[in-house]
Amino acid sequence: MYTSDSAASASQIDLGFPLPPGHVPSNSTQTFASHPAQRSVYPSGGEGGRASTSTAASSHASTSTAQDRPRSVNGSQTHERDREDVEEEEARTPEKAPGGAVDKAVMASALVPAGAGVAAAALTQDRGGHGERGDGEMAEKLGIEDKHHFFAPQLKSQRRSVYKKIFFIFLGITLWLWACLSFFWGSTYKLTSGISNLNVRFVTFDTDSSALLNAPITQQANYLASLPSSVTHLGWEVRSASNYPNGLADVQREVLQQECWAFVVVNANATSAWRAAVRNGDGSYDPNGAIGIYYMGARFYQVQYLYTESLIKEELSNPLSTARAEALQAFNTYAANNAGAIAAAARSPQTLGVAFGYNIFDLRPIQDWAWAGAAPMEASLIYFVIFAFTVVFTGAQIRAKTGIEDRLTFRAKVTQRVCWPLFAFFWIALWQTLVVRAFQVPLTDYLGRAAFVTLWALNYVTIIAAGFALETMLCLVGIPFLPVFLILWIILNITSSFYPLEMLPPFYTWLRWTPFIHNVEAFKIIAYGTNRVSRLGYHFGILFALIGVEALTLPLAMVFERWSSDKSKRREVWDKREKKEGA
């Protein structure tokens, strides 16, 4: 038999809101459907005043109320009020088919699963069947509000709040854009005024007492050195030949060690070689052998090819014209006293037509097939920061979603915040180095097989230096404002490495402590040999120093983060307490 206890248990299934007529909780549904013998209902004045199973299942609120009312000790009778409630419930019970069978509509509704399905069906029915509008009695209890179009009058206050937030967000983005982009463009706004900081040294090894090139070039170099920076010119320095006992070897050493951006040399016997060619009619004479220009294109190819080389040619044009005029005058004097001079000059016309020229020696060029190596010096460094940001951001999201952050000790937090980026950065640096090698960037010309491992280590410490800064700022500004700092961090690093710091205004000198510039300089040494190998230690040392500073500031930032979080939680608890007391 279907006892009062089973009816009570069925009636005690509470979904948190009243079920609509015709819906039966899961427990009573299974019993009702699987045991036909239990489908009969007690009469209104039956034993113990029990209600029928279908009544108990379809009217949760009335049945639970009847259960809560006091009963007799033996449970065989109910109060008169209970009897009246049962009769009212039976009056609302669906009609029964002959033989006590329950109506098919009731059976169908009894087979509807309980839980979320019942709640959704009931909510749809309560809202008029569309899920958008209706009486809203059940929706209000569930905290679900009616939906409206954006310009509905009911959303006036929310719409005003949206407009206000959008305005301030757009204003903040606008100000931040002007600040960051102005910082970058400010570095290139008067770029040509910084060209005078690119030092070009001049030395002559032509010891002829009547040398034709020494005086004009020396005079031009001294004149250019006296010009203000507002006039576009290179910074010329006149050096004594006594400082270079090994001749051209010492000159090339200074260029390779980046002591100067270029070197202009008047070669030994430049004037005497010209005179000999004029007298002997030497058709093999090469005027360009008089002067040599030395620089490294790979040091900063944007600067060397666009500015240094072109400006040297321009600034040598006047002294070369002067020297050629003096050479022609000297030939006329010689030809006046020598009848065969004209015939000899005819055999070597270049001695009079050009007289003196120059050869350009790029000591560390970027070969035509190796221009893929320019990418790691430019845009690829941005990817370092982007990947580092991804690692830091996803780590923060994982900690927030799993809730592990609040259950870790401070020491465990620091360990976790340090170890996860170190692990991820290790492999990201490897993949980036493999991409560089896959596109045949030359890595073995100067360091041999050690170049790949050295570049991997360089990329690793660079991304650590870039990533730990993001991790520290995450503690200070939080996830919402971390992308804002990302923009600034990219701008700072790109500005430091896009052009030489020597060309930038003095304000930008402090960018020497950003990671990108040292990665770029060290990469050039590894791939192109733009400096002595021992200089690698300097760049690695700066990167490790940056990491050390960040390793010290990260725990301090985490202390601030914990204090700020605790303060917010205390404020939230206090607000709830005040709201409760006010109610």
Residue where one domain finishes, among candidates 188, 210, 243: 188
pLDDT, residue 58, reads 40
| Residues 575 and 458 placed together within one structural domain of the fold | yes
- In tens, the pLDDT along 194-239 reads 999 999 999 999 988 889 999 999 999 999 999 998 899 999 999 9
Q: Is 100 helix (H, G, I), strand (E, B) or coil?
A: helix
Spatial CA neighbour of 400 closest among 502, 511, 480: 480
| Residues 292 and 260 placed together within one structural domain of the fold | yes
Region for residue 448 given its phi and psi (left: phi exceeds 0; alpha: psi -120 to 50; beta: otherwise): left
- In tens, the pLDDT along 485-515 reads 999 999 999 999 889 999 999 999 999 999 9
Residue where one domain finishes, among candidates 365, 390, 413: 365
Task: Report if residue 148 sits inside a domain.
Answer: no
Task: Report if residue 149 sits inside a domain.
Answer: no
| Residues 422 and 561 placed together within one structural domain of the fold | yes
| Residues 528 and 493 placed together within one structural domain of the fold | yes
DSSP labels, 331-369? HHHHHHT-TTHHHHHHH-THHHHT---EEEEESS---GG
Find the radius of gyration of the CA atoms of the chain. 44
pLDDT above 70 covers a percentage of the chain that reads 74
Write the CA distances from 194 to 197, 303, 306, 506, 571, integer angstroms. Answer: 6, 11, 14, 10, 54
| Residues 87 and 123 placed together within one structural domain of the fold | yes
| Residues 178 and 247 placed together within one structural domain of the fold | no
- In tens, the pLDDT along 441-480 reads 878 788 888 999 999 999 999 999 999 999 999 999 999 8
- In tens, the pLDDT along 287-310 reads 999 999 999 999 998 899 999 999
| Residues 337 and 394 placed together within one structural domain of the fold | no
18 φ/ψ angles, rounded to the nearest 5 degrees = -70, 135
Q: Which of 69-83, 153-167, 375-389 is least confident?
A: 69-83
Mean pLDDT of the chain: 80
Instruction: Please give the order of strands across the beta sheet that includes 199-204.
Output: 235-238, 199-204, 262-266, 291-295, 358-362
Task: Report if residue 350 sits inside a domain.
Answer: yes
Contact call for residues 58 and 93 (beta carbons, < 8 A)? yes
Task: Report if residue 150 sits inside a domain.
Answer: no
Does residue 553 register a pLDDT over 50? yes
Task: Report if residue 51 sits inside a domain.
Answer: yes
Task: Report if residue 436 sits inside a domain.
Answer: yes
Total tally of structural domains belonging to the chain: 4
pLDDT, residue 143, reads 66
**What is the end-to-end Cα distance of the chain in Å, rounded?**
49
Residue 580 half-sphere exposure, CB side, CA atoms within 13 Å? Answer: 6
| Residues 28 and 100 placed together within one structural domain of the fold | yes
| Residues 534 and 395 placed together within one structural domain of the fold | yes
Please tell me whether the overall predicted TM-score, pTM, comes out greater than 0.85 for this model.
no
| Residues 431 and 556 placed together within one structural domain of the fold | yes
Contact call for residues 204 and 168 (beta carbons, < 8 A)? no
| Residues 354 and 385 placed together within one structural domain of the fold | no
151 φ/ψ angles, rounded to the nearest 5 degrees = -95, 20
d(CA 122, CA 189): 68
CATH number where 274 lies = 3.40.1710
Q: What is the mean pLDDT of residues 129-153?
A: 66
Task: Report if residue 167 sits inside a domain.
Answer: yes
251 is in which domain, residue-wise? 196-365
Does residue 28 register a pLDDT over 60? no
515-528 and 380-402 helices, crossing angle to 10°: 130
Residue where one domain finishes, among candidates 313, 343, 365: 365
| Residues 502 and 576 placed together within one structural domain of the fold | yes
Residue 226 CB partners (closer than 8 Å, separation 6+): none
Q: How confident is the model at residue 137 (pLDDT cuts 50, 70, 90)?
A: low
Q: Is 490 helix (H, G, I), strand (E, B) or coil?
A: helix
Residue 330 CB partners (closer than 8 Å, separation 6+): 212, 275
pLDDT, residue 384, reads 86
pLDDT, residue 319, reads 96
- In tens, the pLDDT along 224-281 reads 999 998 899 999 999 999 999 999 999 999 999 999 999 999 999 999 999 999 999 8
Task: Report if residue 321 sits inside a domain.
Answer: yes
